Structure 1
Amino acid sequence: MEALAERLSHLDAHVHGAIRVVAFYDTLMRRRVDLPALARASAGLAECVAGVRLHGTGRVIRFSPDGGDASASTASASSTAPITLDEEEIGTVWLERPGPPSPLDDVLLDRLAIAAAAVVERYGPARTTMADPALVELAISSDNDEAARARALRLLGFPADLPVHVVAVRSRLPLDRIGGLICPARPVKAAQLADVGVILATTVDPARFPPGVRAGIGAAESPDRSWREARTALRFTTSRQPVVHHAGLGALGLLAQVPKDIARDNADVAAIARIAENAEDLATLDAYCATGSLRRAADLLHLHHSSVARRLEQIAKTLGVELTEPTGLVRARLALTAWRLLDD
């Protein structure tokens, strides 16, 4: 390469400069630098601010020529180039030269774009929402140390300065579709682990889950704890409440810690099991527990309130509680929830 550059330098100074730019980026790629190091080196070479942005994550990396991080401020790009991987544009690189463009800016940006694509291909983030299950498991496992977890998240494409929420999902819909809906235009990855789908996302919009999806959303900042919370919240989902945020469970979350054999032997829970043998009675009790009102329960069930009242009278006898009293309603709600948790 150096011999070729020397011969070409006698022919054209521009060609000589272009060869040196190419050699510069070849060296960076051999050293397997990451995107911030690539942007920092480019800014030093161009002697102006250089930036990299990935469409899939929205992450902006921007450095000044002195090597300082300039991502907090913005300015107009003097020249840009697309980052292309597998014939798809995945991002943009640019220079912010205050004066007229340099004759070598196009060459520099072309090589920067090629190098950035190589970094993304090697380290992530991948363009697709679906991720390697092994990496996702590393990110959410409580058995790993923080260094291993941070590396897994980096390989999945999550910037260190963004929170990661974990969602546990059961659905027949593709996980990548669900992930794209609940976290549009932001970093999101998904994988299937055993019988539960896992979605890692920087933001989660509960209102955007499509019909037919059961989802539990973790609240903790640490991905491993958020995963435990998400699985717990998933256990509390019902057809009436298909999406549950762990933060909204409050003290109800304690029911998930009760051993199943103890819950099964409880008299109220055993009574719910008997009531569940009749689908109409179970639906009636569910509606009444959800509303706390006989008339509103009747509206949900599309029945006359007198019919619901007769059913509730029989249900109350089976439970051995007075459902019209606050204490009886609380007991019924807790027993119904505990009985549902037995199936998970």
Structure 2
Amino acid sequence: MEALAVRLSQLDAEAGGAIRVVMFYDTLMRRRVDLPALARASAGLAECVVGIRLHDTGRVIRFGPDGRPASGPPAPASITSPLVLDEEEIGAVWLERPGPPGLPGSLDDLLLDRLGIAVMAVVERYGPARTTMADPALVELAISPDSDEAARARALRLLGFAAGQPVHVLAVRSHLPLDKVGGAICPARPVKAAPLADVGVILATTVNPARVPEGVRAGIGATESLDRSWQQARTALRFTTPRRPVVHHDDLGALALLAEISRDTARGNADVSAIIRVAETPEDLETLDAYCATGSLRRAADLLHLHHSSVARRIEQLGRTLGIDLTEPTGLTRASLALTAWRLLDA
């Protein structure tokens, strides 16, 4: 490689310089240096301040070309490169070179690229890396009912979970990136996420339902066996609504049996068919949903920001449409079950 660099430098100074940069970082990686040593060596090579930042710890490392930690506030970066590991941005590296960035013939892009590779190698070596996104194949192996326990244990170990550590499974639908959702739900403990088929999967050692971001739907399984927990999480996700965006399977009780009913059977039920007709008018559907959720005209009126007499008139009309006396406990139960079964048709 040294001989190649010499020959290239005689033919093309920039090509020879590029080879020398690659050799420089190959040598550092073979010596298994740590992050401060990487920053120090890079600053000497670049002849300017070099910075490294890791998002999960907030750690920032800056060294100047004199080999000493850079003092004072950081200067504006002349060039920055993100650190992307397992499709998640875990940090950044940059140069604080005085003068205009992107000088002709500059090897800054290559230097930062090789520095980024070296930094991620160090993070993985001394990790495990605290990334949230994981290999979907590993996550699927951990939760699949077709996996034996040995394969499941190995997958969890490779994902960074200690043996015997309880792991919760969540099925989520989200407008936010999965790593953001996972980090919010379990900010200080191991958590992994991956897209799987039509839903996102999150594996977490602890789950705080109150920390699920707004607008995210999440179903939570039990912690007994991961394959069973995954099925429970998917079922719970089907029961989520705008009013109840997070559902734990344990809280469903006998309602979970509704998920076992076939779509044809549900559509053929007279109460569910009536709900389908009601759903054609969003205002009626919202009124019925609020009333079923609260079981009270006054509390439903509070949710809808209406006078309770207005809600009473709507409920009376809805009762005639459904053919159910909604003021009776039995009628309210029928309407609630039919409304839930209707939601499961499209969940």
Q: Structure 2-normalised TM-score? A: 0.64
Supply the AA of the counterpart residue of 2:265. I
Provide the residue aligned with 2:235 in structure 1. 232
The SS at the match of 2:321 is helix
Question: For each residue in 1:256-288, what CA deviation from the matched residue of structure 2 results, as whole angstroms up to 9, or x when unmatched?
Answer: 011111011000000000000000000000000
Provide the residue aligned with 1:200 in structure 2. 203
The 1-side partners of 2:181 and 2:174 are apart by 9
Provide the residue aligned with 1:329 in structure 2. 332
The 1-side partners of 2:129 and 2:243 are apart by 36
Aligned pair in 2 of structure 1 residues 119, 247: CA closer, same or farther (>3 Å)?
farther
Q: Percent identity?
A: 78
Aligned pair in 2 of structure 1 residues 272, 291: CA closer, same or farther (>3 Å)?
same
Instruction: Determine which of 244, 247, 250 is the counterpart of 1:247.
Output: 250
User: 1:119 Cα shift?
Assistant: 11
Supply the AA of the counterpart residue of 1:314. Q
Matches within 5 A, 1:162-177: 162-177=165-180
The 1-side partners of 2:291 and 2:162 are apart by 46
User: 1:220 Cα shift?
Assistant: 3.5
Question: For each residue in 1:67-94, what CA deviation from the matched residue of structure 2 results, as whole angstroms up to 9, or x when unmatched?
Answer: xxxxxxxxxxxxxxxxxxx9x99xxxxx
Instruction: Determine which of 312, 315, 325 is the counterpart of 1:312.
Output: 315
Would you say the 8 A contact 2:324–2:331 is kept in 1?
yes
Supply the AA of the counterpart residue of 2:288. L
The 1-side partners of 2:126 and 2:320 are apart by 63
User: 1:310 Cα shift?
Assistant: 1.1
Would you say the 8 A contact 1:138–1:144 is kept in 2?
yes
The 2-side partners of 1:219 and 1:308 are apart by 38
Structure 2: which 5+ runs fail to align?
1-29, 33-55, 57-84, 92-119
Would you say the 8 A contact 1:298–1:304 is kept in 2?
yes
Supply the AA of the counterpart residue of 2:138. L
The 1-side partners of 2:162 and 2:184 are apart by 20
The 1-side partners of 2:131 and 2:191 are apart by 9
Matches within 5 A, 1:153-302: 153-302=156-305
User: 1:123 Cα shift?
Assistant: 11
Provide the residue aligned with 2:69 in structure 1. none
The 1-side partners of 2:135 and 2:122 are apart by 18
Matches within 5 A, 1:69-218: 121=124, 125-218=128-221
The 2-side partners of 1:226 and 1:176 are apart by 20
Aligned pair in 2 of structure 1 residues 125, 260: CA closer, same or farther (>3 Å)?
farther
The SS at the match of 2:163 is coil
The SS at the match of 1:127 is coil
The SS at the match of 1:342 is helix
The 2-side partners of 1:337 and 1:157 are apart by 38
RMSD over aligned Cα atoms: 2.5
Question: For each residue in 1:37-96, what CA deviation from the matched residue of structure 2 results, as whole angstroms up to 9, or x when unmatched?
Answer: xxxxxxxxxxxxxxxxxxx8xxxxxxxxxxxxxxxxxxxxxxxxxxxxx9x99xxxxxxx
Would you say the 8 A contact 1:281–1:311 is kept in 2?
yes
Supply the AA of the counterpart residue of 2:241. T
Aligned pair in 2 of structure 1 residues 145, 173: CA closer, same or farther (>3 Å)?
same
Would you say the 8 A contact 1:271–1:318 is kept in 2?
yes
Would you say the 8 A contact 1:281–1:315 is kept in 2?
yes
Would you say the 8 A contact 1:287–1:301 is kept in 2?
yes
Question: For each residue in 1:127-186, what CA deviation from the matched residue of structure 2 results, as whole angstroms up to 9, or x when unmatched?
Answer: 211000000000000011111101000000000121010000100101111111111211
Would you say the 8 A contact 1:124–1:156 is kept in 2?
no
User: 1:249 Cα shift?
Assistant: 0.5
May I ask how many residue pairs the two structures share in their alignment?
Answer: 236
Would you say the 8 A contact 1:123–1:155 is kept in 2?
no
Would you say the 8 A contact 1:220–1:229 is kept in 2?
no
Would you say the 8 A contact 1:168–1:230 is kept in 2?
yes
The 2-side partners of 1:332 and 1:316 are apart by 9
Q: Structure 1-normalised TM-score? A: 0.65
Would you say the 8 A contact 1:175–1:197 is kept in 2?
yes
The 2-side partners of 1:185 and 1:243 are apart by 21
The 2-side partners of 1:313 and 1:230 are apart by 36
The 1-side partners of 2:334 and 2:294 are apart by 15
User: 1:309 Cα shift?
Assistant: 1.0
